[in-house]
């Protein structure tokens, strides 16, 4: 089975946010193991394929809508959810 790949799409002006997300996902990468994450308000619901899937954080609320603690909690929850999805997909229990 091929390893799952995570694609992070972002604007270059949002590179700091991409780096922050990748930091939280780094724990998964080190274990050898993503869906859309809305960083700031945008019209993502108008993009056909994005509007049909469940964005993160919950309900497509942008990360920037929270304070620093909430942002870190959202990023940690996203990393945990990705881990669980990948684990189920691979049939591995750790």
**What integer pLDDT is reported at residue 47 of this predicted model?**
83
CA angle 7, 24, 43 (to 5 degrees): 50
Residue whose C-alpha is closest to residue 78's, from 34, 42, 18, 39 = 34
Q: Which sequence spans correspond to the domains of the chain?
A: 16-23+35-87
**What integer pLDDT is reported at residue 69 of this predicted model?**
93
Number of other CB atoms surrounding residue 14 within 10 Å: 14
What are the phi and psi torsion angles at 37 (to 5°)?
Answer: -120, 120
pLDDT digit string (tens) for the chain, length 94 residues: 566 566 666 778 888 888 888 887 776 665 554 766 788 888 888 888 777 777 788 877 888 888 989 988 988 888 888 888 777 877 765 5
**What integer pLDDT is reported at residue 70 of this predicted model?**
92
């Amino acid at each position: 089975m091929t390893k799952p790949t995570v694609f992070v799409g972002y604007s270059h002006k949002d590179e700091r946010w991409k780096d922050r997300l990748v930091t939280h996902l780094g724990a998964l990468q080190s274990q050898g193991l993503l869906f859309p994450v809305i960083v700031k308000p945008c019209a993502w619901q108008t993009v056909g394929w994005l509007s049909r899937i469940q964005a993160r954080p919950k309900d497509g609320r942008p990360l920037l809508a929270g304070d620093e603690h909430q942002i870190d909690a959202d990023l940690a929850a996203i990393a945990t959810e990705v881990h669980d999805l990948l684990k189920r997909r691979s049939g591995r229990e750790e």
